[in-house]
Amino acid sequence: MKDYRRLATLMERIAHKYNQVENRKRPYGADLILTRAEIHTIVAVGDNPGINVTNLAKHLGITKGGASQMIYKLVDKGLVIKKVSPESDTEVVLSLTDAGIGAYDMHTEYHKKADEMLFAQLKGLDDKTYDLLVKLMQEYEKSMDDLINQ
């Protein structure tokens, strides 16, 4: 008999641990400490120069208000630039400052090393197991979306 509670408990523990990691601050240079949410916002802007706040929110899977608050923090820290869009006076587009690019580059290197560890474990999976894992994660994301939207 399948013990769904065991699987749900495991997923909750993983989510809790991810949140602990997400809330941990990391150094990005001598004088710059950022949360994972901050650096991932920087990465999203760096990967999508000229992105607007609405599309940034969609990309990150957060509310527009949450994205806007994060951008204000990053502008204050001198990492992100907000400019009026060349296409519309009512839209703001985002780009990175030199300091933001430096943090982006450091995080890219960090992810390269972290991804190597995870990918080494995933390489051992056969295609069927890998596809099942992807499907499980997609379903888990949908259930989280449903809970968020209740």
Report pLDDT digits (tens) over 97-123.
999 999 999 999 988 998 898 899 899
Q: How many domains does the chain have?
A: 1
- Residue that is written with structure tokens 């950022």 in the block: 34
pLDDT at 69: 98
Whole-number Å distance between alpha carbons of 79 and 30: 15
Instruction: Provide the residue range defining the domain that includes 79.
Output: 4-148
Whole-model pTM?
0.70
Is it the case that residue 59 has pLDDT exceeding 90? yes
69 and 56 Cβ atoms separated by less than 8 Å: no
Is it the case that residue 22 has pLDDT exceeding 80? no
CATH classification at residue 121? 1.10.10.10
pLDDT at 126: 95
pLDDT at 73: 97
One-letter amino acid of 134: V
Nearest to 42 by CA among 110, 116, 111, 99: 99
